[in-house]
Amino acid sequence: MDMPNTENDTLDLYGTRVASRFLIGTARYPSPDHLKRAVIRSGAEVVTVSLRRESSGGEKAGHAFWQLVRDLGVKVLPNTAGCHTAREAIKTAQMAREVFGTPWIKLEVIGDDATLQPDPFGLVEAARELTDQGFEVFPYMTDDLVLADRLLEAGCKVLMPWGAPIGSGRGLNNPYALKLLRAHVPGVPLIVDAGLGAPSHAAAAMELGYDGILLNTAVATAGDPPMMAEAFGKAIEAGRLGFLAGIMEQHDVAHASTPVFGAPFSPFSS
């Protein structure tokens, strides 16, 4: 059986193609050096940045961080982390566009403080207005099919459903729902965002046919963030290859891997 051709298997994000399907966050690292080495070893070409977090560090810290990102040569996906209303998210996105010089925005509108679950109504409202303003919106959402349709109608061309609540490390809480969503919007880039704690979680999502993974906490808080970043990068590649190659069908009973025809043969029989 021929291996799938992955030479041109790139991820299309609003017309920008990237070879890596790993989008990595930049918060909570022990040091800037850990962040730098983690991004390099991950192979990621896109990093997410919170405007609020960088602004809160002061002007000097903000310039140092921005210089680090520039030196890495990666694309920046600003996010509206910490926003609880559509108005707040829209204002943050507008400021992020001025600071980072990109129309990309990872849109977060949080509706529940305990789970950090998105507010679907505020999310659609903000997505529609930001799209009208020329933004290219990456909405952080649940795995709800109707919400997916509404966000696509609002102008989103990429969707980012959660695997589990942000920072929980639980992996894929509802693989069935994620599989349904993948089938529901077959031509839309889907990136699992949030809740993954182990490289195997990322591989499982990619084996479902998802197009990419965005995560932060599992790498940033690991004992060795650069090593964990590399582990996730390889797991994402493995899951993608497995999906393209074709995952075997599951069975309820054993299926012999070696076919047996007729009676056993012994080389010592006469």
On the question of pLDDT at 153 being above 90, the answer is: yes
List of E strands, the chain:
11-13, 16-18, 22-25, 46-50, 75-79, 104-107, 136-141, 160-161, 191-193, 212-215
Task: For the domain covering 19-244, report its CATH number.
Answer: 3.20.20.70
Q: What pLDDT, on the 0 to 100 scale, is given for residue 65? A: 83
Q: What is the pLDDT of residues 22-60, one digit of tens each?
A: 999 999 999 999 999 999 999 999 999 988 655 555 566
So what's the pLDDT on residue 1? 46
Which of the following is catalytic: 75, 91, 106, 157? 106
Q: Is 187 annotated as a binding residue?
A: no
Q: Output the pTM of the full model.
A: 0.89
Cα distance between residue 121 and residue 109, in whole Å: 9
Structure tokens at 195: 């809740």
Interatomic CA distance for residues 130 and 55, integer angstroms: 22
- Residue 106 catalytic? yes
**Amino acid identity of 96?**
A
* Mean local confidence (pLDDT), 112-126: 95
Q: Nearest 5°: phi and psi at 58?
A: 95, 160
Do the annotations mark residue 6 as ligand-binding?
no
Domain ranges of the chain: 19-244
Is position 216 annotated in a ligand binding site? yes
